[in-house]
Structure 1
Amino acid sequence: MTLLGPAEIRDLAELLNVQPTKKLGQNFVVDANTVRRIVKVAKVAAGEQVVEVGPGLGSLTLGLLEVGASVVAVEIDTRLAEQLPRTVSLLQPDADLTVVTADALRITELPGDPTRLVANLPYNVSVPVLLHLLENFSSLSAGVVMVQAEVGHRLAAEPGSKVYGSPSVKAAWYGAWRTAGNVSRQVFWPVPNVDSVLVAFERRTDALGTEDERLTTFRLVDAAFQQRRKMLRQSLGQILGGSQAATDAMVAAGIAPTARGEELTVHDFLAIARKIGNVTEASAHDDL
């Protein structure tokens, strides 16, 4: 046996006195077929360096190691982080595992240069964790994450979709996203009260813009979707010094001021961000 089953997972939880909590979004995968499916969808290859966030009791970790990957597992729970190497040494003694005990939202360095992210992400922090990792680890070129269905569909949504929003645009800054299959609630312990999906991504080969442009674009995106039913000249006006300033920037970017955030691509928001400085400088010059 190289993977964990339901009985082994419950035994480990009892050994560690671990009670899965909603606060940490802990729902452990107890089905080996689902684990192997995730690894296959993620196209993990032998010798590849993979980072996993929230390995928990090690279900997915063992699946990644089973195909010969080198895994860096980031775990915030000290008990789980200390047990994981022991579990792996028993079931796959020759596997290449490194455990980092840390909050995934705060890490800025990892051993090696992981090229793929594969994780069962806690529901409550899935989007912030994804964006943080993609921003801080440029070596990550692709991956698959299991997230709450609602979150997954938002990440993969296209402009015009009812679920298209801030996460959709920010994720698109880094690459292309798609849903890659549904996951039954029954493969988790405890059984969650939400559905889950797999979401796959591939990073852009070239960055869209500079770090300053990213920060400005994300500010615009946040403003646009905080009041998604309003026209952008109104919602963006709150951070650009008024609706006229927003209108000027949008017109300069070739975007209708009457548009709404749900209609714009990440490229559209970036175009507006790039015009803000020009419009501001022109206005200041006119006032002289």
Structure 2
Amino acid sequence: MQEHVREPAALLGPAEVRSLAAELDVRPTKQLGQNFVHDANTVRRIAAAADICGSDTVLEVGPGLGSLTLALLDVADAVIAVEIDPKLASRLPQTVAERAPSLADRLTVVEYDALRIKAADIPGEPVALVANLPYNVAVPVLLHLFSELPSLRTALVMVQAEVADRLAADPGNKIYGIPSVKAGFFGTVKRAGSVGRSVFWPVPKVESGLVRLDRYAEPPWSMDDAHRRAVFAVIDAAFAQRRKTLRAALSGWAGSPVIAERRLREAGIDPSARGETLDAAAYVRLAATEA
């Protein structure tokens, strides 16, 4: 990309967010999980915490009115923004041109549903996902994008605080579950901070949190689609009947309790254990056992 002097973007504040929403006749909806950030310090903090290099291409999902987009353009080489709402998608380039004219050529907007997007729909190979993810689809979007885009090295996403805790939970924790294991299939997950309710419009009823996912630099197992699906199928089965032992919970997946026990022992797993005690590596071993 052509080098030129960057002038910092004029970030959006509460008045600008409300003005843009009024201009577009946008009313944040629960269906799309929309809550717009209007605090400049918050988006700067997120952009800084993402550890983005000046040569990085960043993927943002659900840019909305552009609050975080402008902060990301200040630190990234390019930003690919995926927005499902046509009005928001069409207005974003204009907002960036108005508030960060020297950075406008660094933005690409893709009008698409992030849950259905494929690598071929995204121009370029983003290395980082940084986003204020809609609460109602945060985990599916995160897992889908890491499945679909091997170029993604890291993610720093803002989600509901409870979801952030679940994603970063360790085996044995009472909130450890399917999101924890599936995220752990791709890399290491940790909490990366909290975000207060007052920085959003409208103000949500729940707290938000930042969670970071760093893909394994050298994956300890295959990341191809067929293998991932096989591992995820075991995870889903193990947690479908959370209170049962793995021997019982996996009987349907394996074909019978006897076969489930054999495969568990083959993977070095106690058949009387429960799903929430296993890490991603254990599920990978289990999926690799012979049916």
Bin of the TM-score, shorter chain as denominator length = over 0.9
Query: Does the residue aligned with 1:94 lie in a helix, a strand or coil?
Result: helix
| RMSD, aligned CA | 1.0
Q: CA deviation at 1:70?
A: 0.8
Quote the residue 2:167 is aligned against.
Answer: 155
Query: Does the residue aligned with 1:259 lie in a helix, a strand or coil?
Result: coil
* Aligned with residue 88 of structure 1, among 96, 112, 122: 96
Percent identical pairs in the alignment equals 54
* Aligned with residue 185 of structure 1, among 187, 197, 207: 197
Structure 1 alignment gaps of length 5 or more: 281-288
Quote the residue 2:118 is aligned against.
Answer: 108
Cα separation, 1, equivalents of 2:240 and 2:194: 29
Determine if contact 1:44/1:69 at 8 Å carries over to the other structure: no
Query: Does the residue aligned with 2:213 lie in a helix, a strand or coil?
Result: strand
Quote the residue 1:170 is aligned against.
Answer: 182
Q: CA deviation at 1:201?
A: 1.4
Query: Partner amino acid for 2:95?
Result: T
Which segments of structure 1 move beyond 6 Å, counting only runs of 4 or more?
Answer: none
Quote the residue 1:34 is aligned against.
Answer: 42
TM-score by length of 1: 0.94
Query: Partner amino acid for 1:195?
Result: E
Quote the residue 1:284 is aligned against.
Answer: none
Cα separation, 2, equivalents of 1:213 and 1:247: 21
Q: CA deviation at 1:213?
A: 2.6
Quote the residue 2:5 is aligned against.
Answer: none
Quote the residue 1:99 is aligned against.
Answer: 109
Determine if contact 1:2/1:66 at 8 Å carries over to the other structure: no
TM-score by length of 2: 0.93
Cα separation, 1, equivalents of 2:36 and 2:70: 13
Query: Partner amino acid for 1:228?
Result: R
Q: CA deviation at 1:234?
A: 0.4
Query: Partner amino acid for 1:106?
Result: R
Determine if contact 1:74/1:102 at 8 Å carries over to the other structure: yes
Deviations 1:166-222 (A, max 9, x none): 010000010001001110000000000111100011101233224333211111111
Quote the residue 2:63 is aligned against.
Answer: 55
Cα separation, 2, equivalents of 1:256 and 1:177: 26
Deviations 1:123-156 (A, max 9, x none): 0000110011001100000120000011111111
Q: CA deviation at 1:67?
A: 2.3
Quote the residue 1:286 is aligned against.
Answer: none
Q: CA deviation at 1:47?
A: 2.8
Cα separation, 2, equivalents of 1:11 and 1:263: 50
Q: How many residues align?
A: 277
* Aligned with residue 147 of structure 2, among 135, 144, 157: 135
Cα separation, 2, equivalents of 1:173 and 1:241: 25
Deviations 1:221-241 (A, max 9, x none): 111111111100001101211
**1:133–1:68 CA distance, 2 compared to 1 (3 A):** closer
1:186-201 → structure 2 map (5 Å cutoff): 186-201=198-213
Q: CA deviation at 1:89?
A: 0.1
Quote the residue 2:6 is aligned against.
Answer: none
